[in-house]
Amino acid sequence: VNPDLASERQTASFSVESLTAWLDGGAERTRMRRAVVEAIEHDPTFSRENQYFQSQNERYEAAVRKAVYLQKKMHEMGWTEDGPEYKYIYRALAGDVAFLLHRIFMRSISMLGSDKQIAKWIPLASQYQIIGSYAQTELGHGTYLQGLETTAVFDTAAQEFILNTPKISAMKWWPGDMGRSATHTVVFAQLYIHGKCYGIHPFIVQIRSLQDHSLCPGITAGDIGPKMSFEHADNGFLMLQNVRIPRENMLNKFCEVQPDGNYVRWGSQKINYFTMTTVRISLISDEVVVPVMKACTIAIRYSVVRRQSKLKPGEQEAKILDYQTQQEKLLPQLAAAYAFHFINDYLQELFNRAYEEIQTKNFDTLPELHAFSSGFKAMVTQYCTSAVEICLRACGGHGYSLLSGLPSLYTKIFASCIYEGENTILLLQTARFLIKCFMAASTGQPVPPSVTYLAAGKPGKCPAQNKLHFLNPDIYTEAYQHAAARLVSSAAAELQNLIQSGVKKHDAWNQCAVQLAQAAKAHCHYITVKNFAETVEKLKTQAGIQKIMKHLCDLFALHGIFSNGGIFLHDGYISGAQMDMVTASYLDLLPVIRKDAVPLVDAFDFTDKSLNSALGSYDGQVYQRLYEWAQKSPTNKQMSPAYERYLKPLLQNKLSKL
């Protein structure tokens, strides 16, 4: 181990092993996770060794190979889909595995299909006798599902639906696993019966032959080509021309087309969006928080190995993590990784409560769940994408090399801001809920406990009198609450004003959209800070860990006030003098947390293989590994044909040496 890195581990103010166990939810789970990771990583089938050198085709092949062998591996290891090990497998594979949309195909059948449909399709799918995809997005429509143009017309005589792509913009575009793998897909289409449109519904459609994988009649499908990342995924396009499917292929847990064309519904139309809601929540941990934790691990370890320039003349060059500017880049991202790990727990709980109710066909909590899953998906993905970007940039040139592992983390997490709902649209959905609740609360109607604070919004002043007061969670949580409530109420007032001055309701909404999105973000930021503070508060028993978590919570909160000063200063809730106290407390925290920075990322417990980074390995042998890995690049395998073709004719008549 590089001595500069080793020395960082001597002085941890807490037990790394205990922190890991706490993050995992107990030492037993840590053991299980490690066993799963070890089983996967020691199997060469799942190696990611040459990943950074592979073409899109090679990465697709590797991803399919891994997905298929995973079935065998699970059988061999005695892991089941319901078992406790299951959730660690994806983390162990570190992402590049096929058939994630196949899982969403299965999930949508389980949620939206009848018992009969589940009994027919799920066993086939779970053994890969069929491979499914989830075809919702079209070339011309993403977030606005009502605008989807694919049609499914019920033919009473044949007892079939006839599916069509009426124009190019209606082509399904983006669905994963569809470009080259899927045999089946859930297609969302506008249902027409006797010429009347009943809105979008999900249909199971076979697209490729199970004998030779050729496209079925009426189907045009393929891969949409290269993307900024996800080289391993065969995101696809799909055109349907008079494709007929039996009546039984419409997913009909909540509604049905009866043989005579009669349409019956038992649940909310909104339940069709429920798959998306679950996906939004479930992606936060693996697709968003884990990448940030990895990026922090890589960047922080590198920053104590890298020495550059001198803090004092005559001394040895300093570790770059000893520069305040480097601390100010990385440590808030580390704090955010923890903050969002905890918000993920919070959302999971919210989801579990709602899911139980939905099982009893009670849809009352859907609006709150939808608003929260939307807003947090937007806020967390945006924050974390920016966090990974900061980590990458903080590693300078070497961060920019694929061998650092950071560009692939970054280009992948970047997509999370776009998929499963564009973030601005999602924030506006949250804003709509907040405005409704604010209106309701203002007139004394009941609102969910998470938003009762909106009613209490009024002018006030932050009571802090010195910089230490800003290390009191009540002080900063209150400030966030005040700011969120102010932004919601002032957006509501602005809306009111516009409407009263004669602007149509929809125009008024659009003219306030920037401020509404800002208010929704402030609400999510507030809940994140509050939840972090409460998590730390609950941690009474483990003093060493509680102390460092308290520092991280303070840092997360004060960084947010420092970086968004305008929101807090605007109405004088925080004064300029108090902002100087915030800045002082914030900057004071940096060297404190810096001391524990390496143990804090060690506690995330990533193996070298899962980081796949020349900069971030546990042993800190950064330069050796960069050199060793670079030599394996295909660009060094042989002399480029460019030499013979283009350079030799120019250079050849010279002496070998000038």
Least Cβ distance, residue 55 to a copy of itself (angstroms): 6
What's the closest the beta carbon of residue 631 comes to a copy of itself, in angstroms? 7
Q: Is 324 in the site for a copy of itself (CB under 8 A)?
A: yes
- Burial pattern 184-197, b for ≥16 Cβ within 10 A else e, equals bbbbbbbbebeeee
By beta-carbon proximity to a copy of itself, the closer residue of 20 and 518 is 518
Q: Which of residues 23 and 67 has its CB atom nearest to a copy of itself in the complex?
A: 67
DSSP 3-state of 207: coil
Closest CB to a copy of itself among 16 and 139?
A: 139
The whole-angstrom separation of Cα 516 and Cα 428 is 7
Which of 27, 197, 311, 468 touches a copy of itself by CB under 8 A?
311
**Residue from the set 213, 270, 353, 361 that interacts with a copy of itself by CB under 8 A:** 213
CA atoms of 396 and 377, how far apart (whole Å): 29
Q: Could you count the other beta carbons within 10 Å of the beta carbon of residue 289?
A: 25
Q: Which range in 27-35, 348-356, 601-609, 636-644 contacts a copy of itself by CB under 8 A?
A: 636-644
Identify residues 138-197 at the interface with a copy of itself (CB under 8 A).
Answer: 139-144, 147, 168-169, 171, 173-174, 179-181, 183-184
The whole-angstrom separation of Cα 92 and Cα 84 is 14
Q: Which of 224, 283, 439, 539 binds a copy of itself (CB under 8 A)?
A: 224
Residues 6+ apart with CB under 8 A from 274: 111, 112, 358, 366
Token representation of residue 358: 């939905």
**SS3 category, 114:** coil
- The letter for the amino acid at 417 is C
Where in 639-658 is the site for a copy of itself (CB under 8 A)? 639-643, 645-648, 650-652, 654-658
- What is the distance between the alpha carbons of residues 189 and 201, in angstroms, rounded to a whole number? 6
- Give the sign of the dihedral formed by CA 375, CA 379, CA 384, CA 389: positive
Choose the catalytic residue: 85, 149, 389, 420.
Answer: 420
**211 is written with which tokens?**
């004998």
Least distance from a copy of itself to the Cβ atom of residue 297, Å: 19
Residue 6 in the binding site for a copy of itself (CB under 8 A): no
Q: How far is the CB of 73 from a copy of itself (least distance, A)?
A: 14
Q: What does the alpha-carbon distance between residue 383 and residue 333 come to, in Å, rounded to a whole number?
A: 9
Cβ distance 459 to 439 under 8 Å? no
Q: Which stretch binds a copy of itself (CB under 8 A): 209-217, 364-372, 470-478, 550-558?
A: 209-217
| Stretch of 12-20, 86-94, 276-284, 310-318 contacting a copy of itself, by CB under 8 A | 310-318
Q: Is 389 a catalytic residue?
A: no
Residues 382-411 interacting with a copy of itself (rule: CB under 8 A): 393, 396-397, 399-403, 407, 410-411
Report whether 179 belongs to an annotated binding site: no
Say if residues 90 and 286 touch (Cβ distance below 8 Å): yes
Binding-site size for a copy of itself (CB under 8 A) equals 139
d(CA 371, CA 450): 12
Among 9-17, 158-166, 549-557, 629-637, the segment contacting a copy of itself (CB under 8 A)? 629-637
DSSP 564: T
Residue 137 among known ligand-binding residues = yes
Mark the binding-site residues for FAD, compressed into ranges. 137, 176
Question: What residues act catalytically?
Answer: 420
